[in-house]
Amino acid sequence: MRTTTATSAALFLSTSLALDSLIAPSSIVANQNFTLTAKNPDSTVLYRIYLAATLSSTTGPTCFLLNSTTLPPSGVLSLSIPASVGPDASYYSIAISPLPSSSSSSSSATSIIYTPQINITGLTASYTSYETSLRGAPFYDADMLPCNSYACARKCADREFPAGSEGDGEEEKGERYGRMVECFGGCEGVGVEVKGGSGMESLGGMTMTMTVSTSAEGEATATATATATTTMETGPSEADATEEAAAATSSGVAAPRQARLAGVIAIAGLAVVGVC
């Protein structure tokens, strides 16, 4: 999981990202547009923009608001926060990171930058018992979870990890986690990885590509376009994936990258079930 401690009015990024800072209003109302400003953007780079939260003294992405977008020369975007992502709180922030394929630096050196913490009101959701048990860790990889589908994914988590399941053994937790990831495949835009005949196939979602329109005043509005995609990469062996999945879920906490491994074993060859 990408984490950083929010300790200043603006957190700065390494020069590889070519951004000086990221600025958002101190207060935002859900489902209403707000202005996000990136200082010194690189118009040739594709960025992913996240909603993040600071829980248990660490800050990390929760879900993505824009999966793939360029930034206008002004660096100004108009965005909105879905009301269903969580409860009203002042521990949220907005984050940005370049997509590895569009950055000249390697993915391991890619940095992420956060705005100062934001108070968001008008939110309508509550955390499930499973989310609470994670003590601030995300229940899925933010790179694969669009904020618009967070409510659907939360239903999957609530169904497979009801109150009282925290005391389950490692094997049962692993099975529950696998079913939860399988369920994610029925949530629009959520990436779910299963083991295919020639490696790893990313299924169950749409890639949200953003087209940026700039007004005469220099403010940009991002428009989402969904396209079906399948990506291939070399996957781990089932034994390795099973071992990592068990380790990731032994305490009810699964790191995002380990979450993908858990999904590989749990949903291979199974039908995708949705709850939306």
Rg (CA), the chain: 18
Mean pLDDT of 186-206: 58
45 and 146, same domain (yes or no): no
12 and 118 part of one domain = yes
Which residue segment(s) compose the domain that 98 sits in? 1-126
d(CA 33, CA 65): 12
115 and 197 together in one domain: no
Q: Are residues 88 and 168 in the same domain?
A: no
pLDDT in tens, 257-273: 333 333 332 333 333 33
Mark whether 150 and 273 lie in a shared domain: yes
Question: What is the tally of structural domains in the chain?
Answer: 2
CB 35 within 8 A of CB 49: no
Residues 72 and 158 in one domain: no
Q: How many other C-beta atoms can be found within 10 angstroms of the C-beta atom of residue 172?
A: 12
Of 126, 148, 166, which residue constitutes the final position of a domain? 126
For 43-61, how does the pLDDT look when each residue is reduced to its tens digit (9 = 90+)?
889 999 999 999 888 889 9
**276/139 same-domain check:** yes
The answer to whether residues 142 and 269 belong to one domain is yes
pLDDT of amino acid 110 = 52
Strands (E), the chain: 21-23, 27-29, 34-39, 47-55, 58-69, 76-79, 89-98, 113-114, 118-121, 192-196, 199-203, 206-214, 220-228, 232-233
